[in-house]
Chain A
Amino acid sequence: MSDDNGAWLLALGPAGAAALYWAIYRYYRNTDKSHAFERETAVDAKPVTGSDRQTGDVKGVRNSRISGDNVKAYRQRVKRVS
């Protein structure tokens, strides 16, 4: 194992402590909970329509997801056009 990798591993201790603190705090205080109306409301939707058009490509990027990926952040509002 190289020195570089070793230094990185040393961060595991503080990271583990922080993760445990955060997880238990949320488990007691439930600050992340709210009504999951997206899942729990009776929604009757017609089939989704739409279009997909290739506009280009990217090569040699480092991030594994598109930047600003918000496909799961349903409650994060984006520009409202009407």
Chain B
Amino acid sequence: MSNKTGSTPPPLPFGGTGGTPPPLPPGIGPGSPQDVPPEPGTFPVDPATLPKAIRDEVLAPDPVAIDTASEELKDGQNHCPKCGATDIRQRPGTDLLICLYCRNEWHGEGVEEAFGLGEGLDTLSGTIVASGAQAIAADASHLMSFKCTGCGAEVTVNTESNMTARCHWCRHVFGVNEQVANGAVPDAVLPFRIKKDDAVARIRQFVGKRRMFALKEFKEQFTPENVVGVYMPYMIVDGRASAEVSGHGEIKTREYTRGTGNNKKTYYDADVYAVRRAVDFTVDDLPLESSRERSKLDTKVNTNNIINTILPFDTKNAVKWNASYLSGFSSEKRDTDVEALRPRLEDQLLSIARHQVEPSVSRYDRGVRWEEESLDVHGTRWVAMYLPVWLYSYQQPGSGMLHYIAVNGRTGETMGSVPVQHWKLLLAALTTGTFIEAIVIALLLGSN
């Protein structure tokens, strides 16, 4: 599908499903990661009990995430609508495109309105796959060549990392707009709104809160100006599903102690119930990584969970694909199909269902042990989208672990992994432990 013309967009094609999905590489799919993340801004130990220096670091303000409001979006083309020039870029900090020749500015077309993506969630059925999210052909090349219409030269674009190129003879700019079957061209793009200076400041602030125990080499080589703007490939999924869970819950009826002195023990009596819960729900714009490398979330070997954490984006404001938005930024290519992502979607839908039913079992004050769960996905809608991420990376010497600090290019949400100077942290922990131990021994000696 091409969006070179400004006419009415074609309806979403309906992709067929069937067959068994291919096996997932390790780290993808159910179980990565298993732990529900803590609430933002929480710290496992009460900061008031920490030494002042550490407490100051922990309590320093986090980079603020802004709320992006939806804007009215209009029509967009790859040629400047005013003068026809192709030297078009995104105006930094806005969703506007600007013609560098005549300074004309304009908006891309909103993908929500163009495809009606926000509608019909209640009646969603089957699998709807937008044209940019369709299966990747095995033989599709990531190198694409164009014949320059200006001078006839051959221009090659490597879609692994770039979506635009300039003809080195006549300075004409090319963007990859045709949806070829190599997964490089998505349906929509969400332009950067956070500018580079802003991203640098947020990374500085984030690391400023984590200096005391940071690896010495990391601090010495810390240059946040080297942050790179990257468009990451995601599948934005809408879904309608029903889930059912069953298990056992207990309500405490009595609590009492038996024995005296050192043998005092607490006992509980409880009523046991068989509990069953069912819920019908729809989810709107659930983002899933559609790059194989990026979806391997294993904190033992990589820090991809950092990029995962800065989700979600205000995907409602995404505009129809136009390669001009990517000018000056690098991009990663989608290499995962809808069927390969389905197990992960089902896993997340089940987690959402479990979260939804939790308030309904609050009367079980001894908790509930869910034993069986089932999920019926009635309908899903998949849209391939490029989302903007500012990425700072540092490769730790020795272990080779690549540490990311990522800033959400829309909301400014910042998360990162700062390598730790282990001996320093160990020393601080041992000192604290010794201090506590000394107090305990003093207390024991005093009481005896």
User: Is the A/B pair a real complex?
Assistant: yes
A residues with a Cβ closer than 8 A to B are 1-2, 4-6, 9-10, 12-14, 16-46, 48-82
A21 touches B426 (CB 8 A): yes
- Whether a CB of chain A sits under 8 angstroms from the CB of B7 is no
A18 touches B429 (CB 8 A): yes
A43 touches B311 (CB 8 A): no
A28 touches B420 (CB 8 A): yes
State how many angstroms separate the Cβ of A46 from the closest Cβ of chain B: 4
A10 touches B44 (CB 8 A): no
Bitwise, B262-290 to A at CB < 8 A (1) or not (0) is 10011111111111111111111111000
B277 touches A49 (CB 8 A): yes
Assembled-state Cα–Cα distance A10/B416 (Å):
36
* Among candidates B279, B350, B366, B417, residue contacting A46 with C-beta atoms closer than 8 Å: B279
State how many angstroms separate the Cβ of B138 from the closest Cβ of chain A: 30
A74 touches B355 (CB 8 A): yes
A interface, over-half SS: mixed
State how many angstroms separate the Cβ of A17 from the closest Cβ of chain B: 3
State how many angstroms separate the Cβ of A56 from the closest Cβ of chain B: 5
Assembled-state Cα–Cα distance A14/B418 (Å):
25
* Among candidates B54, B121, B350, residue contacting A24 with C-beta atoms closer than 8 Å: B54
Measured as residues with beta carbon below 8 angstroms from the partner, the interface class of chain B is 35 or more
B266 touches A57 (CB 8 A): no
Assuming the A-B contacts A69-B368, A78-B371, are A62 and B266 also in contact, with contact meaning beta carbons closer than 8 angstroms in the complex?
yes
A23 touches B262 (CB 8 A): no
State how many angstroms separate the Cβ of B402 from the closest Cβ of chain A: 13
A77 touches B31 (CB 8 A): yes
Given contacts A13-B437, A33-B37, 14 further A-B contacts (CB under 8 A): A1-B447, A17-B433, A23-B45, A28-B210, A33-B309, A39-B355, A42-B285, A50-B278, A57-B272, A66-B248, A69-B367, A73-B36, A74-B351, A81-B374
B308 touches A35 (CB 8 A): yes
Among listed B161-169, B326-334, B357-365, interface-contacting one: B357-365
Residue with the highest number of chain B CB atoms closer than 10 Å, among A46, A55, A74, A79: A74
A48 touches B279 (CB 8 A): yes
10 A-B pairs with least C-beta separation: A17-B433, A13-B437, A69-B367, A50-B277, A45-B281, A21-B429, A38-B355, A31-B299, A42-B284, A35-B311
Number of A-B pairs, beta carbon distance below 8 Å = 284
A48 touches B357 (CB 8 A): yes
State how many angstroms separate the Cβ of A30 from the closest Cβ of chain B: 6
B418 touches A29 (CB 8 A): yes
Residue with the highest number of chain A CB atoms closer than 10 Å, among B121, B276, B440: B440
* Among candidates A21, A54, A62, residue contacting B425 with C-beta atoms closer than 8 Å: A21
Assuming the A-B contacts A49-B279, A81-B373, are A30 and B45 also in contact, with contact meaning beta carbons closer than 8 angstroms in the complex?
no
A45 touches B213 (CB 8 A): no
Residue of chain B at shortest CB distance from A44: B282
Chain A residues whose CB sits within 8 angstroms of the CB of B278 once the complex forms = 48-50
Assembled-state Cα–Cα distance A34/B417 (Å):
12
Residue of chain A at shortest CB distance from B312: A40
Chain B residues whose CB sits within 8 angstroms of the CB of A39 once the complex forms = 355
Assembled-state Cα–Cα distance A73/B354 (Å):
9
Chain B residues whose CB sits within 8 angstroms of the CB of A65 once the complex forms = 366-367
B367 touches A66 (CB 8 A): yes
State how many angstroms separate the Cβ of A78 from the closest Cβ of chain B: 5
Assembled-state Cα–Cα distance A30/B34 (Å):
15
20 A-B pairs in the complex with CB atoms less than 8 angstroms apart: A10-B437, A12-B440, A16-B436, A18-B433, A19-B44, A27-B210, A28-B419, A28-B420, A29-B417, A33-B306, A41-B283, A41-B312, A44-B281, A61-B268, A64-B268, A66-B250, A74-B352, A74-B354, A77-B31, A79-B371
Assuming the A-B contacts A4-B262, A28-B418, A69-B368, are A37 and B374 also in contact, with contact meaning beta carbons closer than 8 angstroms in the complex?
no
- Whether a CB of chain A sits under 8 angstroms from the CB of B66 is no
Chain B residues whose CB sits within 8 angstroms of the CB of A67 once the complex forms = 369
A32 touches B35 (CB 8 A): yes
Assembled-state Cα–Cα distance A28/B273 (Å):
43
* Among candidates B34, B367, B437, residue contacting A71 with C-beta atoms closer than 8 Å: B367
B34 touches A76 (CB 8 A): yes
Assembled-state Cα–Cα distance A16/B38 (Å):
21
- Whether a CB of chain A sits under 8 angstroms from the CB of B399 is no
Chain A residues whose CB sits within 8 angstroms of the CB of B284 once the complex forms = 41-44
Bitwise, B325-355 to A at CB < 8 A (1) or not (0) is 0000000000000000000000110111011
